[in-house]
Structure 1
Amino acid sequence: MAKKSMIQRDIKRKKLINKHIKKRTIIKNKIKQAHNFEEQLTVQKALQKIPRNSSPTRLRNRCWLSGRSRGYYRIFGLSRHVIREMGHECLIPGLQKSSW
């Protein structure tokens, strides 16, 4: 189980991303359309005023059952540990644990 504070931090980041996504895309388009470097710098200062945690790259994929961030399988939305346990108990259809 992941630390509760890390899970809550990711929830907070999701909220910030949804809150600032429109503003961020508008500013990014203005940066791309800037004609000279000085204009580009002034628009980038506006982008820097938006919270850092509102950037989608700061969001971490987490297992919805355990909260673990590493060993995450996108297909299932689970970590490798949970997939293994659920595979043993035949809870995931079509998944069979290999043994040799």
Structure 2
Amino acid sequence: MAKKSKIVRNEQRREVVARYADLRAELKRTIVAPDSTGAERAEAQRRLHALPRDASPTRLRNRDAIDGRPRGYIGKAGLSRVRFRELAHRGELPGIHKSSW
């Protein structure tokens, strides 16, 4: 199980990313827009750089929803491979069963 502080920090980062997502997208559109002037681009880059570091989605880590394990993450289930296997064997994941052929 991951440390509680790591799980909480990642959740706080998710909130910050969500809060600044629209502003970041708008600034990035301004930077890459061909009709933007040099001054507009420079101002957009300055404002983007001034945003909190944790506002970048790159700083998020996919973690297991139950115990916070950072590795072996299965995106569709939101679980790590270990937890996914345990729950699947117990029959707690609807539509998931062990394959045999």
TM-score after normalising by structure 2? 0.82
Q: Which residue of 1 aligns with 2:31?
A: 31
Displacement, 1:40? 2.5
Q: Secondary structure at the match of 1:70?
A: coil
User: What is the aligned-residue identity percentage?
Assistant: 42
Q: Which runs of 5+ in 1 are unaligned?
A: none
Question: How many equivalent pairs are there?
Answer: 99
Cα offsets for 1:45-90 (capped at 9, x unmatched):
1100001111122212111111112111112111101011112212
Q: Which residue of 2 aligns with 1:68?
A: 69
- Letter paired with 1:72: Y
Please report the RMSD computed on the Cα atoms of aligned residues, expressed in angstroms.
2.0
Note the 1:11-22 alignment, pairs <5 A.
11-22=11-22
Q: Which runs of 5+ in 2 are unaligned?
A: none
TM-score after normalising by structure 1? 0.83
